[in-house]
Amino acid sequence: MPVTPLDQHGNLWAVMTPSSTYLIGVELDPVTGEAAVLQKYWGPRLSPEAAREAATASGGPATPWGARRHISSFSTPAEIEELLPVDGGKRWGSPSLQVSFDHARSLELHFVEAAVADEGAGAERLDIVLRDAHHPFEVVLSVRAREDTDVIERWTTVRHLTGGAPVAVGVTRLDSGSWFVPDATAYRYSGVFGAWAEEFQLQRGPLPVGELVFTSRQGITSHHANPWIMIDAGEAVEEHGEVWGVALAWSGSWRLTTTHRPEGGVSVSAGFGHDGPRWTLGPGEELVTPPVLGLYTGDGFGAASRSWHEYTRRHVLPAPDELRPVLYNSWEATDFDVTEAGQLELARRAASVGVELFVVDDGWFGERDDDTRSLGDWWPHRKRFPQGLRALMDGIHGMGMRAGLWVEPEMVNADSELYRAHPDWVLHMEHRRRDEKRQQLVLNFARDDVRDWALAWLGDLVAELDLDYLKWDMNRPFTQAGWPERGAAQDRLWIDYTRNVYEVMARLRQAHPRLRIESCSGGGGRVDLGVLRHTDEFWPSDNTDARDRQTIQHGFSQIYPPCTMSAWVTDSPNITVGRSMPLRYRFHVAMAGVLGVGGDLAAWPQAELSEAAELIEQYKSVRHVIQHGRLYRLAGTPGQERSAVQYVLDGDVVALVYNPAGNAKRGPRWLRLAGLDPDARYEVVLGGDAAETVPGRLVQGSRWHGSALMAVGIRPAAWEPVGADHRSDMVVLRRVTP
Ligand code: DGJ
């Protein structure tokens, strides 16, 4: 079973996943009775007997799983191995839980009880209950493990209990949990940073001694950082080496603090909220954190990504088994100039090249002719759609496509009927300006009346237009985020806002089971495992230049699976960066995820439309492998030099091969495939251009041993040293019985 009690006193548990073990023990300070809930081991899977030994041995200092540090001298503080180090007692590090009682900010927790519950479907949950020595305050640490994933879920609940002496409880830090990375001689971190049109830039470097904070104070996940980190000993590569990963499933502000102590030892604590806000808890009130997820793998960054992808498909996505349709989006083609005739013309062309879902972007509502007005006025633009939008949506459906619409429910323009009617509905503070960004203000979604209003109009819109898809956008971070009527309790809006966004999405889906939702936030500002419980795809970036996109997709794929990565083929030169590129390269890059088209099809010559139709057809024939298969990032720096990504689903193999720089003398020419059955043979279904340039190598119908394809590899035409810039191939192989 995933959670195995290891001793008869009920204070030691082995959390077993298919290939890892996570040991948790409760230790009591013999003098004060204070409880420390410790991570005693996290690494390769151990038998229960070995785990028991490991836990006992961890009392001594010279063990591979680290010294027990909680009863310690001046220089070795208690908290580094704790599951939730608090502000209190002999602890000086960054706390995972910080609470003040009236004016005293210190916790002393004692053990109350622990229980393991069978949650069905191969999942078990361990709850460890702790209570403050004096104040009516309870903390529950929860851990969930499942039989089919190495990802372990943890979260924390805090409660102001009723019945104690009256006390004002203020929570200034409440992380979902802290994870300890076993001792190593060196540590390296991997994470992503970014900006608008430049999201998911992978950074990897030595972890300095000190505290490394990735955070968002924007009320959304943000473009600047994404809530995950991976730690290794500086030796892991794509397919080898131990990697420990932590990710937070939350779409509001967040903070992930990695501490590398001068005495050695690394911990990662992650949770919602950021420095500053204070959440008050009245008697009987509780706060439950979002899940923080931990993953250990012994097989490199590639295996870590595949585990995150598999976990996401099995336990996060609402509709994981569906193949994502090929989408068209009108934004880059028409900007705000949305008309029935214009969209129908684009739709006709989209349908003719094989698009399956047509999404009308911004510009269809209120008096929205540019970005200065009408957010909040969610009725059809009276001049452009005097008869409403139904004819357009029926037209799209009539062409055999699904129909989708862009919305930005959390926003309002000051120049809107909604704002004139409800100026109090936006986030604001007394005696402070209401600063606008992109001419818009943020609606206070923490308010139940705002939530109910959004749910009502969105529900009506979906029903009246028979919509299949919403692109849910969110184009500005919070500023002056207050709710004056709530007084001392107003900081709760940072949490309740996000919860209400989730709730509206969940209830919409419930009421309209066919509806699918894309999460967009000025590109990739809301990409995380929290919103993914209620959405199907992400829009990773407004930058649709295929070269830049390769870098973005590389960072995105570290955690998030290809079936959530929407990618459009747009015009050349690209409207954001001005670079020109062949259609084929643009398609091959977009095919690495959920293929879409976002160019002005009305301006594409017939030859390009025909090529597009052919490539879309090819994508459809392999998309089950790309969207549901296992991803291998094979070689090279994407977008900079020869590189390739490969997908395997059962016996089907697809490789997308890129060479951005035509005259590159260095770098690999042989591409070694991965993840194949070495004993099986594979037949070439599609060889890219290789058949012509490397005779006999990838000729359609030729058969090769899996072992040879992995040991020797293939020689893609796109990788030949001299040729045009931006060459690419799609290679498809299928396992055959010998
Ligand atoms: C930002 C999104 O990222 C774009 O794709 C587009 O939908 C615009 N908003 C519309 O305003």
Amino acid at 93: G
Q: How far is the CA of 539 from the centre of ligand 1 (A)?
A: 9
Q: How many residues appear in the chain?
A: 738
pLDDT above 60 (res 305): yes
Nearest CA to ligand 1 atom 6: 331
Residue 171, Ramachandran bin (φ over 0: left; ψ between -120 and 50: alpha; else beta): beta
Residue 219 in this model has a pLDDT that exceeds 50: yes
- Residue 669: what pLDDT? 83
Q: Tell me the pLDDT tens digit for each residue of 57-68.
A: 655 432 222 334
242 lines ligand 1 (CB under 6 A): no
Nearest CA to ligand 1 atom 10: 362
Number of CB atoms found within 10 A of residue 667's CB: 16
Q: Give yes or no for residue 34 CB within 6 A of ligand 1.
A: no
Q: Which two tokens stand for residue 540?
A: 């990773």
Counting Cα atoms < 13 Å in the Cβ hemisphere of 497 gives 30
User: For residue 186, what pLDDT band results from cuts at 50, 70 and 90?
Assistant: very high
Give the angle 155-157-163 at the CA atoms, nearest 5°: 170
Q: Is 163 buried (19+), middle (13-18) or exposed (0-12) by CB count in 10 A? A: exposed
Tell me the pLDDT band of 685, cut-offs 50, 70 and 90. very high
The mean pLDDT of 435-456, rounded to a whole number, is 98
Q: Is the pLDDT of residue 324 over 80?
A: yes
Residue 146 has pLDDT above 80, yes or no: yes
pLDDT-derived band at 393, boundaries 50, 70, 90 = very high
Task: Answer whether 0.75 is exceeded by the pTM.
Answer: yes
- Residue 603: count of CB within 10 angstroms of its CB: 10
- Hey, which of 539, 552, 574 would you mutate to test ligand 1's pocket, going by the most ligand atoms within 8 Å of its Cβ? 539
Would you say residue 306 has pLDDT above 80? yes
Strands (E) located in 136-200: 137-146, 151-160, 169-181, 188-193
Q: Which residue has the tokens 């229980």?
A: 115
pLDDT at 665: 72
Q: pLDDT-based confidence at 694, cuts 50/70/90? A: very low
Nearest protein Cα to ligand 1, atom 11: 362
User: What's the mean pLDDT in 703-729?
Assistant: 90
Say which range, 441-455, 484-498, 505-519, 707-721, has the weakest mean pLDDT. Answer: 707-721
Residue 328 and residue 598 in contact, taking contact as beta carbons nearer than 8 Å: yes
Lowest mean pLDDT among 121-130, 294-303, 365-374, 707-716: 707-716
Please give the average per-residue pLDDT across 478-503, as a whole number: 97
Of 441, 87, 150, 85, the residue nearest 308 (C-alpha): 150
Active site annotation includes 448: no
CA distances, 608 to each of 545, 584, 605, 620 (Å): 17, 9, 5, 18
pLDDT tens by residue, 231-274: 999 999 999 999 999 999 999 999 999 999 888 889 999 999 99
Q: What is the model's pLDDT at position 165?
A: 87
Among candidate residues 528, 542, 548, 729, the one labeled active-site is 542
Report the pLDDT averaged over residues 302-315: 98
Asked if pLDDT for residue 367 goes beyond 60, the answer is yes
540 CA to centre of ligand 1 in angstroms: 11
**Confidence category of residue 738, pLDDT binned at 50, 70, 90:** low
Give the per-residue pLDDT at 67: 39
Place of tokens 């020419």: 669
Among 87, 232, 473, 528, which one carries the catalytic annotation?
A: 473
Q: Count CB-CB contacts under 10 A for residue 484.
A: 12
The whole-angstrom distance between residue 442's C-alpha and the CA centroid of its chain comes to: 23
Q: Is the dihedral of CA 587, 539, 560, 222 positive or negative?
A: positive
Give the position, in ligand 1's atom list, of the atom nearest the Cα of 539.
3
- The span from the CA of 294 to the CA of 668, in Å, is 35
Q: What span, in angstroms and rounded, lies between the C-alpha atoms of 659 and 637?
A: 10
pLDDT at 126: 98
Q: What is the pLDDT at residue 688? A: 67
What is the pLDDT at residue 201? 98
Tens-digit pLDDT profile for residues 586-600: 999 999 999 999 999
**Could you give the CA distance from residue 60 to residue 81 in angstroms, rounded to a whole number?**
14
Reply yes or no on whether 679 is catalytic.
Answer: no
| Per-residue buried b or exposed e for 619-641, using 16+ beta carbons within 10 Å of the residue's own CB | beebbbbbbbbbbbbbbbebbeb
Say how far residue 543 (Cα) sits from the centre of its chain. Answer: 18
Whole-angstrom distance, CA of residue 76 vs CA of residue 373: 58
Is 77 a residue whose pLDDT tops 70?
A: no
| pLDDT of residue 44 exceeding 70 | yes
pLDDT of residue 75: 53
Mean confidence (pLDDT) of the chain: 93
**Residue 290 near ligand 1, beta carbon < 6 Å:** no
Do 499 and 481 form a contact (C-beta atoms < 8 A)?
no
As a whole number of angstroms, the distance between CA 552 and CA 639 comes to 9
Report whether residue 524 contacts ligand 1, using a CB cutoff of 6 Å.
no
Q: Give me ligand 1 centre to Cα 644, in Å.
A: 29
CB 608 within 8 A of CB 637: no
